[in-house]
């Protein structure tokens, strides 16, 4: 993570600009929590991307580094913002790791889509098939070539695997695959009901010690059943007996689907992982869930507004009255973590909040500007748990 240690904590007047970087405002922690020092958050904007820089006392020096919740990519932009702040504030640098200014280009590719594309724009009349965690992409490419009339979606969180797949799609002239860098556990929510023929989950990480990180959960299975058409299948292939047993238990006696089980079944294509396990003489287990139900169309509620303005708004009163314990509701939670007051601006501040689904929480800052609220860096992704948590946040802020 890029960072700079300085001799003193120099603050600047905002808004101001330096070296193509805008500094919009500075907020100071309103209350000092246990084990935490006073902290300043500097709202920084480069190339239309906004993020916060943290500035805090470290004893013998002061540390400037990007705020984790709002960090942007590529990392070169974070460095540029830190260096510009040091320049504009005339700070003496003790040490830094921000001198390498090469800004790595983000991957641009016609087949690589942002999650917002699937939230707002994606439409197809074709059958969809989805591969979760495609890794080397061997299986996905095989399927895409074999089924040119199917629209494939590959979901991965590992950037080198994504780059490798995109390269292979171009080399082999394959045009029916879209790729998204996103957590597959949340992705299904944005796909229309009854449109998917197959979902492949081949050799997922078993997460024996952290089961909440597993792809399969009741929620994932329910969403899979919603997007699957009648006779559509959710196909797990794994070398982990534990993961297999866990999934069989989750998938047994569902009201909308039934399962079939296999051991050491041969597929037309064998993935890199599969080759490795087979060489080691391990068993390979398959569990296929077949949907027999037609589902209602999905509804996505994208409303993350904080309508209206509060009369006689008092930021300090709001900060003082915010509940500080995590509020756990049925299927979601809200936890107000910290508050910050914007310097030299009346009734303006930042509220750090974590909310949504327990296993996939989202952290955001709520920007308060003279009694008006909005999410800093824009709205959260409209998953159902984020949306219901937002309604709770609004209720708390407005009462
Ligand atoms: C063990 S590898 C298997 C890769 C490939 N399916 C195969 O059979 O060779 C698991 C893959 O799932 C990806 N993955 C793990 N968790 C994920 C998640 N929540 N969403 C999407 N992909 C994920 C990992 O990055 C990794 O590439």
Give pLDDT tens digits along the chain (399 positions).
Answer: 999 999 999 999 999 999 999 999 999 999 766 667 789 999 999 999 999 999 999 988 999 999 999 999 889 999 999 999 999 999 999 999 998 766 667 778 999 999 999 999 999 999 999 999 999 999 999 999 999 999 999 999 999 999 999 999 999 999 999 999 999 998 999 999 999 999 999 999 999 989 889 999 998 999 999 999 999 999 999 999 999 999 999 999 898 899 999 999 988 998 888 888 888 889 999 999 999 989 998 888 999 999 877 778 999 999 999 998 999 998 899 999 999 999 999 999 999 999 998 878 999 999 999 889 999 999 999 998 999 999 999 999 988
- Domain span including residue 62: 4-96
Q: Are residues 325 and 221 in the same domain?
A: no
Question: Per the domain annotation, does 298 fall within a domain?
Answer: no
Atom of ligand 1 nearest to the CA of 204: 10
* Ligand 1 touching residue 272 (CB < 6 A): yes
Look at residues 49, 67, 96 and tell me which one is the last residue of a structural domain. Answer: 96
The pLDDT value recorded for residue 103 is: 64
Yes or no: say if 147 and 177 are a contact pair by the CB < 8 Å rule. Answer: no
Atom of ligand 1 nearest to the CA of 155: 21
Question: Cα(226) to centroid of ligand 1, in Å?
Answer: 22
* Ligand 1 touching residue 212 (CB < 6 A): no
Which residue reads 């007996």 in tokens? 241
* Ligand 1 touching residue 179 (CB < 6 A): no
Question: Cα(319) to centroid of ligand 1, in Å?
Answer: 42
Q: Are residues 167 and 278 in the same domain?
A: yes
* Ligand 1 touching residue 180 (CB < 6 A): no
Question: Per the domain annotation, does 232 fall within a domain?
Answer: yes
Tally of structural domains, the chain: 3
Question: Per the domain annotation, does 264 fall within a domain?
Answer: yes
Q: Are residues 153 and 222 in the same domain?
A: yes
DSSP-derived pairing of the beta strands 228-238 and 196-202? parallel
Q: Are residues 260 and 151 in the same domain?
A: yes
The DSSP secondary-structure symbol of 212 reads: G
Q: What are the E-state strand segments in 1-48?
A: 4-6, 16-18, 21-29, 39-46
> Would you state the torsion angle of the CA atoms of residues 139, 142, 144, 146, taken in this order, to the nearest 10 degrees?
-140
Q: Are residues 205 and 286 in the same domain?
A: yes
Look at residues 68, 96, 124 and tell me which one is the last residue of a structural domain. Answer: 96
Q: Could you tell me the pTM of the whole model?
A: 0.85
CA distance 322 to 278: 56
């Amino acid at each position: 993570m890029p960072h700079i240690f300085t001799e003193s904590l120099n603050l600047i007047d905002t808004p101001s600009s330096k070296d193509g970087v805008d500094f919009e405002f500075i907020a100071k922690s309103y209350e000092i929590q246990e084990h935490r020092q006073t902290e300043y958050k500097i709202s920084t904007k480069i190339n239309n991307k906004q993020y916060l820089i943290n500035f805090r006392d470290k004893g013998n020096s002061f540390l400037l580094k990007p705020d984790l919740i709002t960090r942007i990519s590529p990392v070169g932009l974070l460095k540029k913002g830190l260096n510009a702040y040091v320049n504009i504030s005339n700070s003496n640098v003790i040490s830094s790791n921000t001198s390498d200014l090469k800004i790595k280009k983000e991957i641009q590719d016609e087949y690589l889509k942002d999650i917002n594309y699937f939230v707002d724009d994606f439409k197809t009349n074709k059958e969809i098939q989805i591969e979760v965690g495609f890794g080397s992409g061997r299986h996905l490419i095989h399927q895409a070539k074999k089924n040119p009339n199917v629209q494939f979606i590959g979901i991965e969180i590992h950037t080198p695997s994504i780059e490798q797949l995109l390269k292979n799609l171009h080399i082999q002239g394959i045009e029916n695959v879209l790729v998204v860098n996103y957590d597959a556990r949340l992705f299904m929510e944005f796909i229309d009901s009854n449109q998917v023929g197959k979902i492949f989950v081949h050799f997922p990480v078993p997460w024996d010690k952290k089961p909440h990180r597993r792809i399969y959960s009741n929620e994932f299975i329910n969403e899979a059943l919603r997007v699957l058409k009648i006779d559509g299948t959710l196909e797990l292939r794994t070398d982990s007996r534990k993961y297999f047993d866990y999934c069989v238990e989750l998938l047994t006696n569902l009201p909308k689907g039934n399962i079939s089980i296999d051991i050491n079944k041969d597929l037309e294509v064998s993935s890199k992982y599969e080759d490795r396990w087979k060489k080691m003489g391990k068993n390979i287990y398959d569990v296929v869930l077949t949907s027999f139900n037609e589902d209602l169309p999905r509804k996505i509620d994208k409303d993350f507004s904080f309508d209206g303005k509060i009369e006689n708004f008092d930021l300090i009163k709001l900060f003082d009255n915010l509940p500080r314990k995590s509020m756990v509701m049925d299927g979601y939670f809200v936890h107000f973590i910290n508050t910050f007051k914007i310097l030299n601006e009346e009734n303006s501040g930042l509220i750090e909040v974590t909310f949504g689904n327990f296993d996939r929480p989202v952290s955001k800052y709520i920007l308060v500007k003279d009694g008006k609220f909005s999410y800093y860096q824009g709205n959260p992704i409209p998953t159902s748990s984020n949306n219901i948590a937002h309604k709770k946040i609004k209720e708390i802020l407005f009462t």
